[in-house]
Structure 1
Amino acid sequence: MGSIALIIALHVYAREVPLNYVLLAAFTAVQALTMGCVVTLFEAKVVLEAAVITGIVVASLFAYTLQNKHDFSVGYGCMGSLLMVLLWAGIFQIFFMSPAMNFVINVFGAGLFCVLLVIDLDQIMYKFSPEDYICACVALYLDVLNLFIRILQIVAEANK
């Protein structure tokens, strides 16, 4: 809940220096605590493998975005709809726990966050102004973090 409040505050005060730095530091600390708790649920080998895969995927998507001159911002509307599908699938999964459905949700989520990462990178390069660095930072951070969580769950399932 603290993360959501901090994200809202970051968007409201994105251009209010030095408050935006304080909010970004607080958001990063809350996310670090949360991720610290999450990764303790997995074996170190699984976490390392997921981190390496995430790093390779992010670097590859960054290179792809740099090379490609398409305007990816048209995908934002579709991404909002797909995020809602992912949200409702996750809620459905809470009540009807299915390992197969969990795997499908994680693969779908990983693909979705890859596309969101490309869109956000494109936005940063061609649409955002230099004053939007806080929003850009949070967008990239959330894309990579969500991608890592999905890959972590996929790798953990594959190593069972």
Structure 2
Amino acid sequence: MMSQSQLPVRKADVESGTSRDLYPMMLESPELRWSFIRKVYSIVAIQLLLTVAVGAVVVSYRPIVTFLTTTTGGLACYILLIITPFITLCPLYYYHQRHPINYFLLAIFTASLAFAVGLTCAFTKGKVILEAAILTAVVVVSLTLFTFWAARRGYDFNFLGPFLFGALMVLFVFSLIQLFFPLGKTSTMIYGCLGAIIFCGYIVYDTDNLIKRYTYDEYIWAAISLYLDILNLFMSLLTILTGADD
């Protein structure tokens, strides 16, 4: 039998400064999970920076907006930009573990979404964009810190999955109704409020999955999930603030 001194000893959690695990009943190394979390948040940060850069170019260089919204070729390009993220997800599903193809596809996915966001912002006041960006940053940081705190104390948010999916389907149908049968400014603000609540829930849910459930090879999917949560929260807040400003 091994003596007590020969037993393997788990190292302290360097990131948190203590020897406690990320969550109760954790069986893997905290250092390995923290490395995965840092990698995912680094990818998300780069995605957000690319989104800001592309969006800023679209907003500041008006000929781009004019071309995409007033010419036949521009409208075709705009439709292509809208469907490109969905098209990119198909090959990304098969190559999400193959470097550097996965990063190349992720860059296309992010840039196409950034163009769509930039076009929306091009028709929005700068003050409203800034307010939405600040609110998004505050909410994301707050919910992320809360989820890490809750996970450390044994809370689990996996039960939110079915409820959030159902709410997302309601939001999707609501958006189709708004598209074909516009219901006015009040309904648009209600849509924005529902979207903001739903994607706040998704930030908590996906962060909890990031801490506990994503495997180390799923860093691309984890980054896409968080990026879409943040982007959709920003767009929902932009809808609310635009309606309030009008």
TM-score (norm 1): 0.95
Greater Cα shift, 108-117 or 13-22 = 13-22
**Residue matched to 1:82:** 167
RMSD: 1.1
Counterpart selection for 1:50 from 110, 117, 132? 132
Q: Deviation of residue 100 (structure 1)?
A: 1.7
**Residue matched to 2:223:** 137
1:21 paired to 2:106: no
SS in 1 for 2:158: helix
Cα distance in 1 for partners of 2:150, 2:93 equals 29
Q: Cα deviation per residue 1:70-126 (whole Å; 9 max; x = unaligned)?
A: 211221112111111001111111233222221111101110000011100000111
Instruction: Give the partner amino acid of 1:75.
Output: L
**Residue matched to 2:24:** none
Q: Cα deviation per residue 1:26-74 (whole Å; 9 max; x = unaligned)?
A: 1111112111111101011110110000000101101110111221122
* Count of residues in Structure 1 that have an aligned counterpart in Structure 2: 160
**Residue matched to 2:47:** none
* Higher CA-based Rg: 2
Q: How does 1:34-113 map to 2 (within 5 A)?
A: 34-69=116-151, 70-98=155-183, 99-113=185-199
SS in 1 for 2:176: helix
Instruction: Give the partner amino acid of 2:205.
Output: I
> Which ranges in structure 1 are unaligned for 5 or more consecutive residues?
none
Higher helix fraction (1 or 2): 1
Identity %: 34
Cα distance in 2 for partners of 1:95, 1:39 equals 22
Greater Cα shift, 106-115 or 72-81 = 72-81
Greater relative contact order: 1 or 2 (C-alpha under 8 angstroms, separation 6 or more)? 1
Cα distance in 2 for partners of 1:64, 1:11 equals 30
SS in 2 for 1:114: helix
Cα distance in 1 for partners of 2:217, 2:89 equals 17
TM-score (norm 2): 0.63
